[in-house]
Structure 1
């Protein structure tokens, strides 16, 4: 569980509510169902329109990464690659066949299988690079719903909500009792739009991009390790190269 993400969300909401209370404002005035429907409902519908169903659902599923990020153990992967390198030097590439079925990650499993099958280093690199590019593209497309999607549309829908609220005010200038609710919707809609984008949607997008980069770096470690083993390089040299590669991506 990523405690800092939970703390950040609570702190953001607390800061807004506390600021409203300190200035003597009514906290209940921030709770406007109409403004919420306009901003959040309109934002989600716009993102659904611009995305494919697969991208939209994948992006929603990735939200759990923010609070419970997956573990990408780069150090363990380096140790595994070095062990495979030693095994290949002692018993040949076919000795790695027993490790293939033990891999939970399909990408690593495929890379090992190609190595056991005797794929040439250049072929191995070309195939695995395509796999990484396709994987990274799919992940980024899914994460983009939080950035260019929700984070991009929410402030605009907040302005739309403000305009609709002001229209309501203008229509009821002769009825002062209705002016307050219209003005409240106008300003609260702006708060919802700008606040949700900058306190949640955009930070979520940035965190997802960081996690995606970490996942891609893990796959690139596998690629470099498999190619090095295929070239018959010394395990010590492979380890130094992989650690240097990892340091560049930290």
Structure 2
């Protein structure tokens, strides 16, 4: 569980609701079904219009990373690579085959299998870089789905505000209708701005940072596998890979 994300979501909610309360408002004033429908429905519709289905599905599948991020252990990964290099030094590259078969990480497993197959270092780099950049690009596209939501939501909120004011202007002769129209106008704006700046934009940036962290981990594995293929000393490999540590 990412404690900072949980604290951030809670603090943002408390700040909005608490600030409204301190100003003399009440929670019900911030609840408005039509405004929520306009902002959430309009934002989602705009994003679906611009986003390929594969990117949208990937975005929905990784949004949970905000609260439960994938475990990325750079230090443990370096220890694993050093262990592989020691095995290769003692038993030869073929000695890595049992480790490749038991490796749960598909990227690391592919790198080990390329070593076992005796592929040249430059070919190994080419193959693993394609995987690295493809995965990174796919996940960054998914993160940008939330950035797009953050771009559209405030504008859709303004549309909701204008619609509310149109409703107000059309009912000037009926004072009983003015309150609900004005409420939709202002609450829609709040929903749009808050949804963008307190939720989806932070989610997008959080996902981008996690994607970059995953890519750094894969780059570390790539350099480790190449070092093993070139026959470097395990101690030298360890010192080189420690440069990836924060």
Superposition TM-score, scaled by structure 2 size: 0.98
Deviation at 1:18, TM superposition (A): 1.0
What aligned pairs does 1:188-207 form with structure 2 within 5 A after superposition?
188-207=187-206
1:237 aligned residue: 236
Deviation at 1:212, TM superposition (A): 0.6
Q: In the comparison of the two structures, how many residue pairs are matched?
A: 246
Q: Deviations over 1:41-63 (max 9, x none)?
A: 11111111111222112101211
1:98 aligned residue: 98
- Measure, in 2, the Cα distance between the counterparts of 1:25 and 1:79: 57
Q: Structure 1 segments of 4 or more deviating over 6 A?
A: none
1:215 aligned residue: 214
- Measure, in 2, the Cα distance between the counterparts of 1:192 and 1:60: 21
- Measure, in 2, the Cα distance between the counterparts of 1:143 and 1:109: 26
**What RMSD in Å do the two structures reach over aligned CA positions?**
0.9
Q: Deviations over 1:180-218 (max 9, x none)?
A: 111110000000000111111111111111111111111
1:19 aligned residue: 19
Query: Helix, strand or coil: the match of 1:24?
Result: coil
2:162 aligned residue: 163
Gaps of 5+ in 1: none
2:53 aligned residue: 53
- Measure, in 2, the Cα distance between the counterparts of 1:37 and 1:189: 9
Query: Helix, strand or coil: the match of 1:42?
Result: helix
- Measure, in 1, the Cα distance between the counterparts of 2:77 and 2:93: 18
Deviation at 1:26, TM superposition (A): 2.8
1:30 aligned residue: 30
Q: Deviations over 1:140-189 (max 9, x none)?
A: 01111111x21111111111111111111111111111111111100000
- Measure, in 2, the Cα distance between the counterparts of 1:202 and 1:220: 27
Gaps of 5+ in 2: none
Superposition TM-score, scaled by structure 1 size: 0.96
